[in-house]
Structure 1
Amino acid sequence: MKKCLLSIVALFCGLMPLKAQRNDHPNIILIVSDDHGRADMGCYGNQVIQTPSIDALAREGIRFENAYCTTASCSASRSVIMSGMYNHATGHYGHEHAYHHFATYDHILSLPVMLEQFADYKTARIGKYHLGPEAVYHFQQVLQADGRNTYEMSQRSLAFIEDCGEAPFFLYYCPKDPHRGLHKYPGKFGANKFGNLEEGYAGIRTTKYKPEEVSVQPFMPDSKCSREELAEYYQSISRMDQGMGLLFDSLKQKGLWDNTLILYLADNGLAFPGAKTNQYQPGINLPLIIKNVKQQNAGQVTTAFVNWTDLSPTILDLVGVLPKAEARVKKIAKGKPKLNPQSYYKNGFHGVSFKEVLEDPKHFKRENRTFASHTFHEVTMYYPMRTIITDRYKLIWNVTSGTPFPHAKDIWNSSTLQEALASPGQMYGRRSLYDYTFRAEFELFDLKNDPEEAHNLAANPSYEKVLSDMIQELKAFQQQTSDPWFQIWERNEALKEVEM
């Protein structure tokens, strides 16, 4: 009997390392919502909207104040997230789908491929994909669910997690909310309302908001139509939040919560003029919440500057395979020096790991600046912008200044914009629609004293040195990241000579 008991104990102890095998590498869930602004959740200060699951994640994770996407366009932004490279250097200049057909160079290594190759992760994606080609952004499994129903997405995801057994997993979890839908809602201005408010999703309780109670941000007009559309936008965010709660609770019940790295972010800001497709703050200064393994530094807030090129290097660093990934990326770059922009960046990626921020959110050694780069949204929306942001100033270079700023289809069709176009003063928030449409070549803003970016200081003689210094930094950034649009500087100088 004693021998039998010892055998059982030995067998039990022998099985223990199998469960602990997950601890060799953390499980990873990367949640990327669709067109979600930073101000539109409780943990970022919104007192109206109900986002209990995201707020709970923030209490157990680290919340970032200065997190930026590099381009406020869904497809292009996702290519940056998954490659660690600026999209102007990978060929993924805009939307991948339909007739737009932008895609990443086929030699680029993506996050799921690197996690599979270097750390034996099981990989799966669910919801919005919006990337190309598939061979570059390859996942072992493609899970099927309605992207508007995160309850269903979570159920399918949990089945995948169960199937992984003791192997570490990487789940790319991408709701299609709160992106505007394509449903027509003819109104006073013959435009769409928000359009993704179908109800009756299994497991989801509809949360409705009154237009008079929503929080209208300063960059938007406080109008009837904008309040109505914001109320609908809030509803889609609360719908998204509910299903995520199922996923989080199930991870805790299965004993996987402590060893699962969870990142919540958005691809770009909310789908209203002045945000999505722009380089203004509402379009690119986005939510980022990271729950580290064992809830390290839970509930803290950091002011560290990070952008979406940093995400893949950081995840690879936390897994412990960043040196392998960098070596492989640089080896590929060496064989393609004329095509591959990675040969111009010493560490292989454009982004830099911010692992040290997760280890100490208050004390870190990172630059207090970041860069952004936008070229296309839809193929008909060519409007390149290059941006540098510091803890005080922002400079936007509108490369094709003088041409009208183009509107994405969903934004153009919004009743919010159409109402502004029909208004006597044609104002949109604190900007005239004329200034919004026809932009100066350089837009320089003092973010400390003018957080709404309402006053362009580029032509102010008092800021001549600030402008000059930031232009030089922007040029250096473009050279370092092999930006094809760098040559425009030389072209513009040559044209000035012709004019003289």
Structure 2
Amino acid sequence: MANVDAQPRNVVQIIADDLGLMLGCYGLKSIQTPNIDKLASQGTKFTNAFASTASCSGSRSTIYTGLHTHENGQYGLNHGWNHFQTHDHIETAPQIFNALGYQTGIISKVHVGPQSVYPWEWYAPGESRDVRENAAEAARFFDRAKETSRPFHLTVGFRDPHRDATRGGFGNQDEDVSHVEVPDYQLQDVDIPDYLSDVPELRVELVEYYKSISRLDKGVGFILDELEKRNLRESTLVIFMSDNGAPFVNSKTTLYDAGVRLPLIISSPDSDSIPGTVNPNMVSFLDILPTCIAWAGSKDLFPKTSNSEKSPKRLGRSLLPILSASKIVPEEQWQQHVFGSHTFHEIQNYWPTRYMRTHKFKYHRNIAWQLNFPFGTDLYGSLSWEGIRNSTPLPDDESDTPEVMLGRRRLTSYVYRGPEELFDLEADPEEINNLTNDPQYQGQLIRMRSETEAWQYLTDDVWLFKDGVSAISSQGYQKLGLKLPDRFDFDIKRPGNASGPFWAPARPKEASEQTTKLG
């Protein structure tokens, strides 16, 4: 057993399903989330917290491993025919906390596998949205820990506010939720997110989505009540977060901020924490596991398990040193940029892309940019998307040619994307105006491209492509003399391997305007 401080220091990690930033404490006045808002007032609310990927299984795997999906192998969804699995040699949170002597557990949504890699001691998966029953299961977990005098690490994966199996529902008609009272939102009550267009079908869905969020909020309150009843709050680090953005087109499955900029609230009972802190520093969900390990009192952020020597080294940082920071910490003390990695959602949704984000700029490297950006099945089947795709085309700021719009984004630029995207977030927070061809931003583009590539090398990202070939998997041949041109994609018109510019050939003519060519 690893060296842990004597005083029990527990962790409760609450993960919402497809939430995004639609909470009262994050500025949405039209929704009622009093329990989550109260938690934020008691702890630290991060305003620049980022998931690595905008897909359920992948994002959860990064939280539980401290590794990007291209490192841990959970490239896409775990369930059904998708069947993506975390590699057997990867070290995970339940392995680590089992080794630390903790009672580990997970309740409701799991969505990663295999179970042998995620060996939670208390394993209570479920499909129900009954947040009272989820809380009752948590109560049983807490009682067992108290009976055995063990510290605990519990993850509660609420099912809300994910879509249900209907075209516009969010579980509000399920029999097992009828006893949980939520506000009766009306069509005129909802606010339309900037990344979506105001169509009647969207308002209908948002009413149901708001109800699902309010039920989630009730569940958070029930969990916190169970801790309070047992006098466990003063020894428990409570973390609230979402796995990815809201389940709408132009959000979930994309690495735009709507998909990966997410709520993160941490409530610490330590005396040096400042309730109500609003923390603007750049943090990654890969920082969650190191934070939990540090909170547990482990003398080593890398306690030994059977997979310790085989698993890649985690690059995340404990958030505890900056938990009470209400201003941006200097770069030399805290790295003020984050990276992200997405490869699949469903197994047919192959669209590998990487991103780097600072406070001011966002860079996307779209590896399979020649492919159309894919639609998740539940998003494509939604009533809101049907309403948007059949809406009246409108002229946008760039062209008088009418086009269907996603908020201010042209549908063309959503489906057809170039090999790189660069956005000035201060001027363009919705990531609409791609600056990769703007001479004024070439220096910034080159810097962020280089830093992203260096990070890909550091994390052995096999999707780091040079001349259409993985620069990582071909390293053995490179040692034997293979030279890869310094360009993203293979060019059938210039197939020679002489060193060439960093560039990409043109995609089909309908998207030629999206092509980036850099010398």
TM range (shorter): 0.7 to 0.9
Distance change (3 Å), C-alpha of 1:168 and 1:71: same
The residue number in structure 2 matching 1:271 is 247
Distance change (3 Å), C-alpha of 1:302 and 1:195: closer
Tell me, yes or no, if the aligned pair for 2:9 and 2:297 is still in contact at 8 Å: no
Match for 2:96 among 99, 111, 114? 114
Match for 1:75 among 33, 41, 57? 57
C-alpha deviation, 1:360, in angstroms: 4.1
Counterparts of 1:473-488 in structure 2, within 5 Å, are 473-488=451-466
Once structures 1 and 2 are overlaid, which stretch shifts more, 416-425 or 123-132? Answer: 416-425
Counterpart secondary structure, 1:164:
helix
CA distance in 1, matches of 2:288, 2:182: 33
Distance change (3 Å), C-alpha of 1:35 and 1:393: same
Counterparts of 1:152-167 in structure 2, within 5 Å, are 152-165=133-146, 166-167=149-150
The residue number in structure 1 matching 2:351 is 383
CA distance in 1, matches of 2:131, 2:467: 46
Tell me, yes or no, if the aligned pair for 2:369 and 2:416 is still in contact at 8 Å: yes
C-alpha deviation, 1:443, in angstroms: 1.1
Tell me, yes or no, if the aligned pair for 2:59 and 2:244 is still in contact at 8 Å: yes
Deviation digits for residues 37-83 of structure 1 (CA, Å, limit 9, x no counterpart): 11x11111111111111011101110001100000000011110000
Match for 1:35 among 7, 12, 18? 18
C-alpha deviation, 1:420, in angstroms: 1.6
Instruction: Return the letter of the residue paired with 1:211.
Output: L
Distance change (3 Å), C-alpha of 1:458 and 1:143: same
Counterpart secondary structure, 1:193:
coil
Instruction: Return the letter of the residue paired with 1:499.
Output: R
The residue number in structure 2 matching 1:17 is none
Instruction: Return the letter of the residue paired with 1:265.
Output: M
C-alpha deviation, 1:318, in angstroms: 1.4
C-alpha deviation, 1:162, in angstroms: 0.9
Tell me, yes or no, if the aligned pair for 2:467 and 2:490 is still in contact at 8 Å: no
Tell me, yes or no, if the aligned pair for 1:277 and 1:377 is still in contact at 8 Å: yes
Counterpart secondary structure, 1:262:
strand
Matched, 1:245 2:245: no
Match for 2:169 among 181, 191, 194? 194
Which structure 1 residue ranges, 5 or more long, are not aligned?
1-20, 184-191, 334-339, 343-347
Matched, 1:350 2:298: no
Matched, 1:143 2:124: yes
The residue number in structure 2 matching 1:3 is none
Counterpart secondary structure, 2:134:
helix
The residue number in structure 1 matching 2:297 is 320
Counterparts of 1:394-409 in structure 2, within 5 Å, are 394-409=362-377
The residue number in structure 2 matching 1:255 is 231
Tell me, yes or no, if the aligned pair for 1:383 and 1:399 is still in contact at 8 Å: yes
The residue number in structure 2 matching 1:15 is none
How many residue pairs get aligned? The number is: 458
CA distance in 1, matches of 2:450, 2:492: 20
CA distance in 2, matches of 1:26, 1:261: 7
Matched, 1:134 2:115: yes
The residue number in structure 1 matching 2:425 is 447
CA distance in 1, matches of 2:467, 2:210: 42
Distance change (3 Å), C-alpha of 1:130 and 1:489: farther
Matched, 1:177 2:145: no
The residue number in structure 2 matching 1:413 is 381
The residue number in structure 2 matching 1:300 is 277
CA distance in 2, matches of 1:86, 1:497: 32
Distance change (3 Å), C-alpha of 1:322 and 1:172: farther
Deviation digits for residues 255-309 of structure 1 (CA, Å, limit 9, x no counterpart): 1111111000000000001110000011000000000124721110101111111
Tell me, yes or no, if the aligned pair for 1:151 and 1:243 is still in contact at 8 Å: yes
Counterparts of 1:334-349 in structure 2, within 5 Å, are 342=312, 348-349=313-314
Once structures 1 and 2 are overlaid, which stretch shifts more, 244-253 or 133-142? Answer: 244-253
Distance change (3 Å), C-alpha of 1:304 and 1:405: same
Deviation digits for residues 303-327 of structure 1 (CA, Å, limit 9, x no counterpart): 1111111110111011122626256
The residue number in structure 1 matching 2:507 is none
Distance change (3 Å), C-alpha of 1:129 and 1:27: same
Identity %: 33
C-alpha deviation, 1:124, in angstroms: 1.3
Distance change (3 Å), C-alpha of 1:277 and 1:144: closer
C-alpha deviation, 1:498, in angstroms: 4.7
Distance change (3 Å), C-alpha of 1:254 and 1:420: same
CA distance in 1, matches of 2:303, 2:95: 13
CA distance in 1, matches of 2:127, 2:335: 40
CA distance in 2, matches of 1:494, 1:237: 43
CA distance in 1, matches of 2:56, 2:125: 20
The residue number in structure 2 matching 1:287 is 263
Counterparts of 1:458-477 in structure 2, within 5 Å, are 458-477=436-455
CA distance in 2, matches of 1:122, 1:362: 36
The residue number in structure 2 matching 1:424 is 392
Deviation digits for residues 434-460 of structure 1 (CA, Å, limit 9, x no counterpart): 111111111111111111111111111
Instruction: Return the letter of the residue paired with 2:419.
Output: E
Tell me, yes or no, if the aligned pair for 2:182 and 2:211 is still in contact at 8 Å: yes
Once structures 1 and 2 are overlaid, which stretch shifts more, 287-296 or 377-386? Answer: 287-296
Tell me, yes or no, if the aligned pair for 1:145 and 1:156 is still in contact at 8 Å: no
C-alpha deviation, 1:350, in angstroms: 2.7
With the length of structure 1 as denominator, give the TM-score of the two structures: 0.87
Instruction: Return the letter of the residue paired with 1:28.
Output: V
CA distance in 2, matches of 1:438, 1:329: 45
After superposition, the CA RMSD in angstroms is: 2.0
Matched, 1:208 2:184: yes
CA distance in 1, matches of 2:6, 2:304: 25
Tell me, yes or no, if the aligned pair for 2:281 and 2:328 is still in contact at 8 Å: no
Counterpart secondary structure, 1:263:
strand
Tell me, yes or no, if the aligned pair for 1:297 and 1:361 is still in contact at 8 Å: no
Instruction: Return the letter of the residue paired with 2:386.
Output: Q
Match for 1:85 among 67, 84, 96? 67
C-alpha deviation, 1:354, in angstroms: 2.0
C-alpha deviation, 1:359, in angstroms: 5.0
Distance change (3 Å), C-alpha of 1:289 and 1:277: same
Matched, 1:332 2:300: no
CA distance in 2, matches of 1:105, 1:260: 31
The residue number in structure 2 matching 1:229 is 205
